[in-house]
Amino acid sequence: MDASQAIISGQAVLGIELGSTRIKAVLVGPDHEVLATGGSEWENEFVDRLWTYSLDAVWAGLREAYAEVTADVATRYGVELASVKAMGFSAMMHGYLAFDAAGQLLVPFRTWRNTNTGAASAELTAALGYNIPLRWSVAHLYQAILDKEEHLPRLDFFTTLAGYVHWQLTGEKVLGVGDASGMFPIDPATGDWDADRLAKFQQLAADKGFSCDARALLPRVVPAGAAAGTLTEAGARLLDPTGKLVAGIPLAPPEGDAGTGMVATNSIAPRTGNVSAGTSIFAMVVLERPLQAVHEELDLVTTPVGDLVAMVHCNNGASELGTWAGVFGEFAAALGTPAAPGKVFDALFLASLDGEADCGGLLAYNYLSGEPIARLREGRPLFTRTPDSEFNLANFMRAQLFATFATLRLGMDILLKEEHAAVDAMFAHGGVFKTKGVAQRYLAAAFNAPVTVGETAGEGGAWGMAVLSAYLAYGQGTTLADYLNQRVFAAAETETLAPDPADVAGFDAYVDKYVAGLAIEAAAVEAL
């Protein structure tokens, strides 16, 4: 079946992911090859000292991304996109979207980026014997309880961004198990909310004056491949106001960007891991056994089928890198030689390869927001150097790229050196890996381990969500692992880079200086 026939006959599938700075849509055929793409840029707002996105921005961005896909289909194939075999939505995990019984938003969406939940995180971690990071949905709820927020008596339901979009499109209050595992702990034995810890939380809340049925406040948990609802007529009009998109399309369980990253890199089996690099950056390793201790630097989440995963999550990823690329792009335009953003990134990334192994004494911090692993409640992007450092473009860009992975390395040291987690294969995806062999090389140095990047690395989580949608449509009777191995990645083109010893030594030296310089960052938070 050729692409146009697949689209006309409704055999293609659609995945849309709401990332931190870009909403991306990917249409794939039954063979999982990308047929068309679309997107929409957006940015969070800092309102009343909290990071948020408006719900209007959610729907404006989704409509634009979907419209771009339909336009791409028309341009490439000369046909109209009106239906797909299945579709699915994923988004940045965690956060707090709270609604009353009438479905009205009670407080502005509180995203994963907020770090105001320190007291809640500490109390819950101690009480539940389970690391509850600052960004988890239950930490946001419990912080609201501690702060005695006025909206709590009207709270009827809370969910994640992907769960909210799915609910509005289908009427179903459900959540994929991977995304759910960033709201509240999941019991791997049942694939559902951890009943004992849920009871403990309910008692904690009651002791603070908030009586509730905790399970009723949460969405229903479903694994990948399970029925999760169909697109309603009202949902179709929300996504496509032109009226061409038909109702009745099955939707895959809504997932988080961690789960789609695992799928996009075929790393859902034990002893596999992946790194997803975007506005935030995180590494995930599928565990053979539970961790021996509770570590604030290590989150426990699950794969889209419910297997336990250790996650090192850093709030700050490639955003500062993108800002610097924008500045260099403006400089090129000022010289009368404007260049597309992709060319700017390529030029800067490739220049970094000529830098010294340890960045020549330059040091960068990419902290736009608070960074729990570094014990920082807020962020201040910084670049600093010693007077005798070698300040040139190559070292500067190498330092910026190293900074993208430095905090991730701190958490991975705990997982690999203290918990002795086993990793046979590490995959990477995200836009930062589009320039071949650069960020991949530095990540291999950071982990001192081979790193594999596939041809879909730049498509990221939206493609992963499309694959989960395809699994719903075409994967019945097979496990997700078998579906990925036998039908998605069997002929996939990948490239693996082993770490260069000189790069490893250089990154180690950079990280030592990075840790020592965290005092500079802390002082900047206090002074600026």
Give CA–CA dist 70/434, Å, rounded.
25
Neighbours of 78 (CB within 10 A): 8
| One domain for residues 368 and 307 | no
Give CA–CA dist 178/186, Å, rounded.
9
Of 346, 519, 356, the residue nearest 432 (C-alpha): 346
Question: What is the structure's pLDDT at 52?
Answer: 97
350 within domain boundaries: yes
Q: How far is CA 182 from CA 43, 79, 93, 295, 300, in A?
A: 22, 40, 6, 16, 8
| One domain for residues 303 and 438 | yes
Radius of gyration of the chain from its Cα atoms, rounded to whole angstroms: 22
Q: Where do the H-state alpha helices sit in 78-232?
A: 118-128, 137-146, 161-170, 177-180, 195-207, 214-217
383 within domain boundaries: yes
375 within domain boundaries: yes
108 within domain boundaries: no
Give CA–CA dist 454/228, Å, rounded.
29
CATH code (residue 492): 3.30.420.40
**345 lies in which domain range?**
341-406+501-527
For helices 118-128 and 137-146, what crossing angle results, to 10°?
110
489 within domain boundaries: yes
| One domain for residues 417 and 493 | yes
One-letter amino acid of 380 = R
| One domain for residues 423 and 394 | no
Question: What is the structure's pLDDT at 452?
Answer: 92
**Residue found by looking up tokens 């995990």 in the block:** 93
Is residue 17 a contact partner of residue 429, using CB atoms and an 8 Å limit?
A: no
Question: What is the structure's pLDDT at 456?
Answer: 58
212 within domain boundaries: no
Is residue 15 a contact partner of residue 90, using CB atoms and an 8 Å limit?
A: yes
278 within domain boundaries: yes
Q: Where are the beta strands (DSSP E) in 322-381?
A: 362-365
Is residue 164 a contact partner of residue 84, using CB atoms and an 8 Å limit?
A: no
| One domain for residues 491 and 523 | no
The structure tokens listed for 379 are 């962020």
Torsion of CA 275, 276, 279, 280, to 10 degrees: -50
Torsion of CA 155, 115, 45, 66, to 10 degrees: -70
| One domain for residues 385 and 513 | yes
Question: What is the structure's pLDDT at 458?
Answer: 54
Q: Where do the H-state alpha helices sit in 381-484?
A: 393-413, 439-447, 460-474, 480-483
| One domain for residues 490 and 348 | no
One-letter amino acid of 133 = P
3-state secondary structure of 284: strand
For residue 341, the number of C-alpha atoms closer than 13 Å in the C-beta half-sphere is 10
117 within domain boundaries: no
| One domain for residues 385 and 521 | yes
Helical (H) or strand (E) element with 27: strand 22-28
**Residues 152-195: tens digit of each pLDDT:** 999 999 999 999 999 999 999 999 999 999 999 999 999 999 99
**Residue found by looking up tokens 């960068």 in the block:** 364
**Residue found by looking up tokens 């036998």 in the block:** 486
Structurally, the chain folds into a number of domains equal to 2
Question: What is the structure's pLDDT at 355?
Answer: 98
| One domain for residues 454 and 468 | yes
* pLDDT digit string (tens) for the chain, length 528 residues: 799 999 999 999 999 999 999 999 999 999 999 999 999 999 999 999 999 999 999 999 999 999 999 999 999 999 999 999 999 999 999 999 999 999 999 999 999 989 899 999 999 999 999 999 999 999 999 999 999 999 999 999 999 999 999 999 999 999 999 999 999 999 999 999 999 999 999 999 999 999 999 999 999 999 999 999 999 999 999 999 999 999 999 999 999 998 998 998 899 989 999 998 888 898 999 999 999 999 989 999 999 999 999 999 899 999 999 999 999 999 999 999 999 999 999 999 999 999 999 999 999 999 999 998 999 989 999 999 999 999 999 999 999 999 999 999 999 999 999 999 988 889 998 889 999 999 999 999 999 999 999 875 556 789 999 999 999 999 999 999 999 999 999 888 889 999 999 999 999 999 999 999 999 999 999 999
Give CA–CA dist 413/229, Å, rounded.
41
| One domain for residues 416 and 450 | yes
Give CA–CA dist 100/106, Å, rounded.
7
Question: What is the structure's pLDDT at 279?
Answer: 85
Question: What is the structure's pLDDT at 459?
Answer: 64
| One domain for residues 391 and 264 | no
Give CA–CA dist 90/86, Å, rounded.
14
| One domain for residues 345 and 482 | no
Region for 430 from its dihedrals, namely left if φ exceeds 0, alpha if ψ lies in -120 to 50, beta otherwise: left
Give CA–CA dist 348/357, Å, rounded.
16
Distinct helix (H) and strand (E) counts, the chain: 18, 22
What pTM, to 2 d.p., does this model score?
A: 0.83
Is residue 6 a contact partner of residue 29, using CB atoms and an 8 Å limit?
A: yes
